[in-house]
Amino acid sequence: MPRYAHKLVLGAAFAFCAASASVAADLPVKGPIYAPPPPVAIYNWTGFYIGVNAGYGWGEIDDAITPLPQPGFGFPPFSVGSEPDGFIGGIQIGYNWQTGNFVWGIETDFQGSTLDETTTLALGPPAPAGTRQRVTTELDWFGTVRGRLGVTFMPELLAYVTGGFAYGDVTVSSRTRFAPGPAFTYVGSGSSTETGWTVGGGLEYSFLGNWSAKVEYLYVSLSAPSHVALPQAPNAPFRVRHSVGDLDLNIVRFGLNYRF
């Protein structure tokens, strides 16, 4: 092969390699394919829920006591204060709506209660020696129907205020002894379902999707039944009137809810 033919072959080979490298450089490089991240689930408080709760309560109540008739009885009116306390427990049912960071809803609950207190007061002159006044206050059960309004500081944490209607079974019983002997003993009681109001607030935290736990404070004010204590036979036919004020309670309780 002539010398110039070798040069033509080498030149053609060089040009072909250069063109191939240029085309390869212009081809797009196929990188690894990544799946998009899953969407982040944001907790929403909207929905129906049911739960249980337990806690402790304490409060106070005043009893204005008037021996009758006045002034013929010979002893002026006086008063006794009681501070019942005890444990509470029950169930709650409610529904929430959420708009942005705001949550509003309605809740009702029913509680069993061991709140009670017996107060004994020794009365001085002009009452005879040995005069005693005993008052027992009991709250066997109570319930509330409340609105709730809250804000979420983070999706799972709700801070709220609450308030509304309250009702409960209140019993006030008394025993008044105006002398050392049984001839001056007066006994009576009043028991009824009373109504009132409540206000409070709390924190609720959601976990495991449908579950939430809460801590809550309620101030509950209920009317209380007044009564007239009558003489035990063969006492003189006098009476002792008990004008009972409101039963004011402080309730702290913990709750667990399941949201549907």
- Mean pLDDT, to the nearest integer, of 137-154? 97
User: Does 188 have pLDDT greater than 90?
Assistant: yes
User: Does 48 have pLDDT greater than 50?
Assistant: yes
- Mean pLDDT, to the nearest integer, of 146-154? 96
Range of weakest confidence among 58-72, 79-93, 200-214, 246-260: 58-72
Q: What ranges in the chain are assigned the alpha helix state H?
A: 3-26
Phi, psi for residue 130 in degrees, rounded to 5: 90, 5
pLDDT on residue 5: 46
Sorting pLDDT into bands at 50, 70 and 90, what band is 10? very low
Sorting pLDDT into bands at 50, 70 and 90, what band is 158? very high
As to burial, measured by CB atoms within 10 angstroms (0-12 exposed, 13-18 middle, 19+ buried), residue 72 is exposed
Residue 56: closest CA among 189, 199, 253, 257: 253
User: Does 8 have pLDDT greater than 50?
Assistant: no
Cα 209 to Cα 16, 58, 95, 213, distances in angstroms: 66, 35, 17, 12
Strand partners, 171: 138, 191
- Mean pLDDT, to the nearest integer, of 232-256? 91
pLDDT digits (tens, 9 = 90+) for 108-139: 999 999 999 999 998 877 777 778 899 999 99
As to burial, measured by CB atoms within 10 angstroms (0-12 exposed, 13-18 middle, 19+ buried), residue 37 is exposed
Rg value, the chain, Cα: 39
Query: Global pTM?
Result: 0.81
pLDDT digits (tens, 9 = 90+) for 216-238: 999 999 999 999 999 887 777 78
- Mean pLDDT, to the nearest integer, of 13-32? 51
